[in-house]
Amino acid sequence: MENTLLVAVELPGEDIETSLDELNELVKAAGGKVVASVVQKRDKIDAKFFIGSGKVEEIKDISKKTDIDLIVFNNELSPAQLRNLEEAIEIKIIDRTMLILDIFSKRAVTKEGKLQVELAQLKYILPRLTGMRDYLSREGGGIGTRGPGEQKLEIDRRHIQKKINTIEIKLKQIEKEREIKRNKRNSSNLPVVALVGYTNSGKSTILNNIIRKHSSKDKSVYAKDMLFATLDTAHRKARLENGDEVIFVDTVGFVSNLPTKLVEAFKSTLEEIKYADLLVHVIDISNKNIDLQIKTTMDIIKDLGANQIPIINVFNKTDKVSNNDILVNLENIGEKIYISALDDKDISYLLNVITERLKDIKSI
Ligand SMILES: Nc1nc2c(ncn2[C@@H]2O[C@H](COP(=O)(O)OP(=O)(O)OP(=O)(O)O)[C@@H](O)[C@H]2O)c(=O)[nH]1
Ligand SMILES: [Mg+2]
């Protein structure tokens, strides 16, 4: 397990604690252990080192005294910043983007998922090779050095470019297959309900509890208490109380500052959301960063062009909070309901709300 030092800059008006909490979770998800963190208050970031040069010295000091294997910056570093920091500190340094890419590469299961992650990683590495080459080539390099399936990431510039091209061609082909499948689903005319929301909010658990009682043959999806348990979209058919059939789509969870390269690479997967008739936005009511999580999800839905689709906001995990905490006052969020995915009655209630909404949608 890599001993990790977190580094963040607190700009005016920023809530750094929330964001560091999340970075901590991300490091854990990647298999590392946070041993210390350094926060610097600044008015703006430093072009050369991201942090001030005094802080660079301080970090050098800490890493000499403490057993640190890895330094993780809370924001995306420019290629020059990464290179300068690597030269000055001489410890493996990665940023939030690389960390998230690393977690995704560990979680990717399907051929498409693996290709999408590798594409994002290679595109990220290419302009940063000089700063990263050293630790990328190290044996057993750990967090930030692995591609999907634990394979070593390519470090030869020409090979990387070639690989990017090959992967893009392969992904286009898979996208076509995805489109054919989607058209087939559309022609069946069944309504499509997509579960969307922040990572770990309970989307897959809700889907599993729906299909357990409302589907004769469909198999369960992977649900677990970790960030990004789901990477690939899954479709499952279920029968509502009134006999109607519905297709549920389970999707990859979101995180704040999701790297743009990753969003680009996962575009075709994420776009499945756009083809839904109804969105079920799952929110973890027990999470203390609930505001950030709701905002992040709403922003991504908007970016994907899916904000015209009717949405039900489902505050999940009510069993983990007391009644007082449930009185969150969120304006402009639209229809909301409160459930615990672990409670069968609540799942039936959710299905009833979905049934009603689908009736409205059909009648428009
Ligand atoms: N106590 C409690 N735990 C829940 C509830 N719903 C989900 N969980 C737990 O929360 C964790 C995450 O659940 P998932 O269903 O994997 O979450 P997800 O939204 O699919 O997460 P990603 O796939 O990472 O986006 C699991 O450990 C679930 O058992 C709930 O209503 N109450
Ligand atoms: Mg999931």
pLDDT at residue 20, as a whole number:
92
* Residues 252 and 232: beta-carbon distance below 8 Å: yes
Atom of ligand 1 at shortest distance to CA of 346?
31
Distance 322 CA to ligand 2 centre (A): 25
Distance CA 118, CA 146 (A): 9
Residue 209 Cβ < 6 Å to ligand 1: no
Mean pLDDT score of the chain, rounded to an integer? 89
Strand-strand pairing, 192-197 and 245-250: parallel
Distances (CA, A) of 69 to 9, 57, 229: 21, 17, 26
Mutate-to-test residue for ligand 1 from 25, 107, 205, 347, highest number of ligand atoms within 8 A of CB = 205
Distance 193 CA to ligand 2 centre (A): 15
* Residues 76 and 11: beta-carbon distance below 8 Å: no
Distance CA 98, CA 129 (A): 13
pLDDT digits (tens, 9 = 90+) for 222-259: 888 888 888 888 899 999 888 899 999 999 899 988 77
Q: Which tokens sit at 38? A: 């350094």
For the domain covering 1-106, report its CATH number.
Answer: 3.40.50.11060
For the domain covering 190-363, report its CATH number.
Answer: 3.40.50.300
pLDDT at residue 108, as a whole number:
86
Residues whose CB is less than 8 angstroms from the CB of residue 123 and which lie 6 or more positions away in sequence, other chains included: 164, 261, 265
Q: Return the DSSP state at 307.
A: T
Distances (CA, A) of 187 to 112, 142, 269, 349, 363: 24, 46, 20, 29, 19
Alpha helices in the chain (DSSP H): 16-29, 53-65, 79-89, 96-107, 111-125, 129-136, 157-187, 203-214, 260-265, 267-270, 290-303, 344-363
Q: Where in the chain is the domain with CATH 3.40.50.300?
A: 190-363
Instruction: Tell me the angle at which helices 344-363 and 203-214 cross, rounded to the nearest 10 degrees.
Output: 90
Measure the CA dihedral 218/222/223/224, to 10°.
160
pLDDT digits (tens, 9 = 90+) for 165-185: 999 999 999 989 988 988 888
* Residues 83 and 208: beta-carbon distance below 8 Å: no
Measure the CA dihedral 138/139/145/148, to 10°.
150
pLDDT-derived band of residue 134, with 50, 70 and 90 as boundaries?
A: confident
Please tell me which residue, 280 or 18, carries the higher pLDDT value: 280
Q: Where in the chain is the domain with CATH 3.40.50.11060?
A: 1-106
